[in-house]
Amino acid sequence: MKFFIDTANLGHIREAHELGILDGVTTNPSLMAKEGISGHENVIRHYKAICDITDGDVSAEVISTTFEGMLQEAEELVKIDEQIVVKIPMIKDGVKAIKYLSGQGVRTNCTLVFSPGQALLAAKAGATYVSPFIGRLDDVSTDGMVLIDDIRLIYDNYDFKTQILAASVRHPMHIIACAKSGADVVTSSLSAITALLKHPLTDIGLAQFLADYERAAATTNKPNA
């Protein structure tokens, strides 16, 4: 399973990259705004800065909601770096744009996916990635993980090559559930990723090992011991 980080924060991207487990980055207009990135030129520059940190795929989302507008934006986005994957919303013009762009060899990430039917359309159109939002489904009392299971089943039935990129991942247990369900990629915050590191028994065990090492060293170094 690939690990993507879902942020536009360069510090967080750098930290995940330095951990050695980062396979890519996803962003969206809200995440860019959160970092105070606004205005066309600044947004483009920020995507370039992200691509300079990681070697993996970087999803850059279009703002337009029309077929022509999306193609125009896609053309500019892919010029930033070959790592760029054009993120396109699951709307009618979005499906048309994904179909067209995949025919041109442009990689796409179909976002805002909340149902198996939407995921089926994204795959039919040739999306490179499909982004089901599991946390937002959980927020409305619908089990987001059921959607991942459904999409996995559908894609496997027909050998669709579209990769399931689980998004709106809120905590480490989402990541584990996605790994168990066979999601191809999970995108999450740095805190959800680093939370996977933690276990109290690891901390207790390490403290014990170090204390025993020090005790043994003290005994060995004692004269006439």
Q: Which 69-128 residues touch ligand G3P, going by CB under 6 A?
A: none
Asked if residue 6 binds ligand G3P (CB under 6 A), the reply is yes
**Burial (CB count within 10 angstroms: exposed 0-12, middle 13-18, buried 19+), residue 14:** middle
- Interface with ligand G3P (CB under 6 A), residue total 9
* Distance (Å, whole) CA 142 – CA 4: 24
Asked if residue 178 binds ligand G3P (CB under 6 A), the reply is no
Of 17, 48, 96, 136, the residue at the interface with ligand G3P (CB under 6 A) is 136
| Whether 87 contacts 121, CB under 8 Å | no
Return the residue matching tokens 């027909």: 158
Please tell me which residue in 48, 87, 92, 161 is annotated as part of the active site: 87
> Looking at 11-19, 48-56, 117-125, 131-139, which segment touches ligand G3P (CB under 6 A)?
131-139
* Distance (Å, whole) CA 204 – CA 125: 51
* Distance (Å, whole) CA 209 – CA 225: 21
- Give yes or no: 92 in active site: no
Nearer to ligand G3P, 191 or 201 (CB): 191
Nearest distance, CB of residue 172 and ligand G3P, angstroms:
14
Name the residue type at position 74.
A
Q: Which 26-55 residues touch ligand G3P, going by CB under 6 A?
A: 26, 28
Asked if residue 57 binds ligand G3P (CB under 6 A), the reply is no
Nearest distance, CB of residue 190 and ligand G3P, angstroms:
13
Nearer to ligand G3P, 26 or 163 (CB): 26
Asked if residue 168 binds ligand G3P (CB under 6 A), the reply is yes
Helical (H) or strand (E) element with 123: helix 116-125
Neighbours of 78 (CB within 10 A): 19
Nearer to ligand G3P, 133 or 160 (CB): 133
Distances (CA, A) of 107 to 61, 98, 114, 164, 191: 12, 8, 21, 14, 28
Residues recognised as catalytic: 87
Q: Which residues bind ligand G3P (CB under 6 A)?
A: 6, 26, 28, 133, 135-136, 167-168, 187
